Structure formats: structure tokens, C-alpha cells
């Protein structure tokens, strides 16, 4: 159960990790605009734009993973398979960030698919 909780914590805080390169790029583009940060983010290009998209995608991924894990907890369905699937999701999400930042779009999509497959696998094992 500890591994599952740790993975959930990592996923919940992953948007903060993804914000670091975004904040750096915002700072490089004339200073971090704390009054209108989203407007400034929309003007970023290249790596900055990819960092912003990766940051936003972390929130989207959390909306798939967190409810799934809460359902696993609610149904008391935590086992080794659940732990491995959670680890797979976290690793895929970290690789996803790296791929996004590096502009490796095909690998990024493949890694995204693996992460989503781990979420779907949770439901498969819950229904089996």
C-alpha cells in the first residue's frame, strides 16, 4: 500500500515539477509576470511552449490516475499488480515530461499510451 500512496503523491505533485522549466522559460522571456502568468505562458515558443503544455498535461493525467487509485483504495483492491501498475504510470509520466521537453513527439505519444494503458489495466483487474 505504501508504494501506491507514494505514487499517488508523486502524481499529485508532478505539475509542480513540470512548472520548474516553465518558470525558468517565463523568467527568461522578460521576467516572470506574476500578474498575468497565463498570458505570458501563451506567448512562449519552442521549449517554453512545450514546457507549458507538459505542465498542463500533468493536471490532465492526475484527473485519470487519482480517481482510479481512490477507487482501488475504496474497493480494498491493493496488491502487487496495483503497485506495479502505479510504478509504471509514474515512470511513464516522468518519461513523458522528458520527451515533451526534448520534442521527441513520437516517443512521447508512445509513453503516454503506456501510462494510459496502466490506468485501463487497473479497471480491468478491478472488474476481473
d(CA 116, CA 94): 13
Query: How do residues 96-106 score in pLDDT, each as one tens digit?
Result: 999 999 999 99
pLDDT at 128: 87
Summarize the confidence of residues 1-25 as an average pLDDT.
96
Give the start-to-end residue ranges of the domains of the chain: 2-127
- Write down the mean pLDDT value for the chain: 97
d(CA 8, CA 91): 12
Whether 100 and 50 have beta carbons less than 8 Å apart is answered as: yes
Give the CATH fold of the 2-127 domain: 1.20.120
Amino acid at each position: 500500500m505504501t508504494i501506491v500512496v507514494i505514487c499517488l503523491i508523486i502524481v499529485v505533485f508532478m505539475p509542480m515539477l513540470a512548472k520548474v522549466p516553465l518558470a525558468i522559460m517565463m523568467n527568461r522571456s522578460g521576467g516572470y509576470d506574476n500578474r498575468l502568468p497565463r498570458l505570458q505562458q501563451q506567448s512562449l515558443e519552442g521549449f517554453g511552449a512545450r514546457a507549458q503544455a507538459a505542465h498542463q498535461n500533468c493536471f490532465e493525467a492526475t484527473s485519470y490516475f487519482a480517481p482510479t487509485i481512490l477507487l482501488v483504495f475504496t474497493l480494498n483492491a491493493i496488491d502487487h499488480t496495483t503497485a506495479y501498475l502505479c510504478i509504471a504510470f509514474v515512470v511513464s509520466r516522468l518519461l513523458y515530461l522528458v520527451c515533451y521537453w526534448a520534442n521527441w513527439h513520437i516517443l512521447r505519444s508512445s509513453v503516454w499510451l503506456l501510462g494510459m494503458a496502466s490506468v485501463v489495466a487497473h479497471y480491468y483487474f478491478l472488474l476481473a
